[in-house]
Amino acid sequence: MPNQTQNPNDKKYDLEERTAKFGENIIKFSNKLQISPINRPLISQIVRSGTSIGANYMEADAAESKKDFKYKISLCKKEAKETMHWIRMIAKANPFEKDECRILWKEAHELCLIFSSIIRKTKQ
């Protein structure tokens, strides 16, 4: 759990918390979905990719070099893009969940844009 006395304007803290919250929201959403032959693999995939964004961000934060940092941030972007794909597939398989899928997709897209910006700004 993040230290509550940390400055909420600290960008590292914000992104760390934001990626963790996104993973939690993916888990919460996945737990609501009905288990079916179609949903089972989709749920498995979205939980893997959606929760790994934050894990990869934590690794990037602990990177030993700028090259390592850039690589790990690129993994965050890759996982965010993959999560967008799985959200789209879940929305197609579960039309009654489209509104929540739209919200999750938007957050995954925003994270992808953030990571793209970090990659562009990181010098090797």
Instruction: Give the model confidence (pLDDT) of 23-36 as tens digits.
Output: 999 999 999 999 99
Q: Tokens 């929201």: give the residue.
A: 25
Is residue 24 one of the residues assigned to a domain? yes
pLDDT category, 123, cuts 50, 70, 90?
confident
Q: What is the CATH number of the domain that holds 20?
A: 1.20.1440.60
DSSP 3-state of 2: coil
Mean pLDDT of 74-94: 98
Per residue in 4-20, pLDDT (tens digit) is: 445 555 545 589 999 99
Q: Could you tell me the CA-to-CA distances from 60 to 38, 56, 92 in Å, in that order?
A: 34, 6, 33
pTM: 0.87
Mean pLDDT of 95-105: 98
Cβ 56 vs Cβ 77: under 8 Å: no
Number of domains comprising the chain: 1
Is residue 114 one of the residues assigned to a domain? yes
How far apart are the C-alpha atoms of 20 and 4, rounded to whole Å? 15
How far apart are the C-alpha atoms of 115 and 76, rounded to whole Å? 7
Is residue 82 one of the residues assigned to a domain? yes
